[in-house]
Amino acid sequence: MRPGPKGSFDEISVKDPSIVFYQGQWEVFHGEAIRSGYNQKMEIKPGPWMLLVQGLRAEDHHGDYAELPWHMGLIVQDPPSSSPFSPCSPSQAWAWYKRVPPIKGCNYLPRTAVNSTEMWNPDTFSGKEPYPGKQQSPIPGIHNSGWVPSPGLSRVVDRSAWPDLRRYVTGVIGRFQRDRRILAWDLYNEPGNSNMGEKSLPLCEATFTWARSVQPGQPLTVGVWTDLESPMSQRIMSLCDIVSFHGYDTANGLR
């Protein structure tokens, strides 16, 4: 579960039928089924269903009951595969691929900019984590000599920062969800890089959920980039509408 400030709640998933918990294991004390009407009978129609619960992190369960740091969470049954929260089918992916023009392009960065932030804002960010200040000059001939991650490595594992990230993802994708200039949404650059490993996976999974919540008209993807047979890469590809990858190999190796 993803606890927020008192009186707020957020969405989690129920999977087979285990619960994904955020910010530590939760203890759930009370629950109430959310209904679309006023029928107070005990029956619950086949899913997806939602259960509003009161709970707290296990490590916070000490002291007087009235003083405990209670939160609300929303347990959501996984939607069926035909819902907008699931990846598109292979036939839908192929239909999209046949519809779009040949895909060609490159990442462009002028030699005067050390990273894409500097490219747009000359005096804004610097260092391994984004923070105010002029950035270092690029080192000639060195690839990615001063690249900075976004949203910053600390925010990947700091779940208290995720509400801001969710608003950013849903705001941008929601604004351009029907824009024909958008070919696809590449949601996360190389999860696991910078020695993050599988610590990147929860945020990557959450980003897919946030993006699908606004029902974009373009496919979603995250480029896998290392050990494509690993559980992490396989999980990422299972979330994608279209599979993409980053290849750091010779032409023969890519083939």
Tell me the whole-structure pTM to 2 decimals.
0.61
Q: What is the pLDDT of residue 157?
A: 93
Strand pairing of 11-15 and 185-186?
unpaired
d(CA 134, CA 22): 36
pLDDT digits (tens, 9 = 90+) for 96-147: 898 888 888 877 766 667 777 666 664 544 445 555 566 677 778 777 777 7
Q: Are residues 113 and 21 in the same domain?
A: no
Within a domain: residue 50?
Answer: yes
Q: Does a structural domain hold residue 198?
A: yes
98 and 222 together in one domain: yes
Choose among 104, 133, 141: nearest CA to 117: 133
CA angle 17, 21, 26 (to 5 degrees): 105
On whether both 178 and 139 belong to a single domain, the answer is no
Q: Is residue 185 part of a domain?
A: yes
Residue-wise pLDDT for 51-88, tens only, equals 788 877 767 778 888 888 887 777 766 544 445 567 88
- For residue 60, what are the domain limits? 11-77
The number of domains in the chain is 3
